[in-house]
Amino acid sequence: MIEIGIIGGTGYTAGELIRLMIHHPKVRINSVVSRSEPGKLIHFIHQDLLGEIGDMKFTDSLRKEIDIVFLCSGHGQSRKELKKISKYIKVIDLSKDFRMINQSFFKERNFIYGLPELQKELIKKSDSVANPGCFSTAILLAILPLAKEKLLKNNIHISAITGSTGSGKRNIYTNNFSWRNNNISAYKIFQHQHLKEIKQTIRQVQNNFYSEIYFIPYRGNLSRGIIATLYTSSSFSLEKNKDIYKEYYKDHPFVEISDTNVDVKQVINTNKCILYLIKEKDQLIVISVIDNLIKGASGQAIQNMNLLFNLDETCGLKLKSVRF
C-alpha cells in the first residue's frame, strides 16, 4: 500500500483528499497534519467523514514510512514545509508556489506542472508535482487542442464562474451565505493569478502565440464547480474543430466532448472535464465545466499520484456526478 501524508489537513482540498483516499484501493492515509488543530478528531472538522475515518486525529508532524506527501497548507507555505520532508519522499503541492517555471525548483526537487492531459509522461518520471489551479485546469483543457495544432491566431476571451469553495475557508466575507446567496460578482478582471500559468502553458505548447488572453472571473452563487466560456477566431468548421478535440483527448479518460450544452451538475463530485463546442460566424466558442475541488484540485492530485506510482490513471477516481 502507498503510505500518504497530508499537510494542511483542515482545508477544503485536504478534506476532499481524505474523502477520496479512504476509498482508494492502493493507499493508506498515514498521517494528516494540522498546525492549528493537532490532536483533534478529523471528523470534528470534516464532519462528512463521521463514520468513515474512525477515530483518526490530526497530528502535528508526519509519521514515519511516508511514500508521498500532499501539501495543502495554502499559497506561500510549501517551501517551509519542504524543509522538513526527505528528498526521497514524493510530493504533490496543491498551492501555486511551484507552478511557474522560474519558481519550480527547491533544492534537489524540480516540480513538474501537473496537468496530465498535457504532460503525462513527464509526470510519471517525476517525484515532485505542482498541481494546477482550478481555473487554469478548466481553461487550459478548453484551449490545449488548438494550441497543439498551432491554431491560436488571435486574442482569447474568457469568462468563468466559480463556487465559494474556490476561495478557501479563510475568505470569510465573500463566502458568507448572506453575501453569496442570490448574488454574483466579477473580481480580479484581467489580473487573476491563474492567468500566468495559463499563458505560460499555452506558449509552451504553441511558441508562436503572442496574442492576448482576456479573462474575467466571477464569484457565483454555488458551493462548488466552475463553468468557463471562451471564444477565439477559427477558420475551421465546427466538425473539424470537434475532430481536433476528440483526437487530442482520445487517450485521456477524464475529458469528454459533449454534443449538447453542458452544466456544472454534470461534473460535481467527479474528476471529469466536459467540453462543449459551438461555432458562430468565425468564432469558436468552447464551454468547459469541472468540479473545482476534484478535477480542479484534490482529484487531479490523486490522478497525478496514480501516474507517479504507475497505477491506472482512473484508480480511486471512478466517480459519478450528483445530478439532483
Active site residue 72: no
Residue 225 to residue 211: CA distance in whole angstroms: 28
- Run of H or E including 197: helix 194-205
The single residue of 72, 134, 273, 315 carrying the catalytic annotation is 134
Residues sharing a CB contact under 8 Å with residue 33, sequence separation 6 or more, in sequence order: 5, 6, 7, 8, 9, 58, 59, 60, 61, 62
Which residue's C-alpha cell is 476571451? 157
Q: ∠ CA 153-150-279 to the nearest 5 degrees?
A: 60
**Kind plus residue range of the DSSP H or E element containing 180:** helix 177-180
**Going by C-beta distance under 8 Å and a sequence separation of 6 or more, which residues neighbour residue 252?**
116, 117, 120
51 burial level (CB within 10 Å; 0-12, 13-18, 19+): exposed
Q: Rounded to whole angstroms, what are the CA distances from 271 to 168, 285, 319?
A: 19, 23, 7
Strand boundaries in 163-252, DSSP class E: 185-186, 213-219, 226-233
Amino acid present at 28: R
d(CA 67, CA 4): 6
Rg (CA), the chain: 19
| Pairing mode of beta strands 68-71, 90-93 | parallel
Which residues have a catalytic role annotated?
134
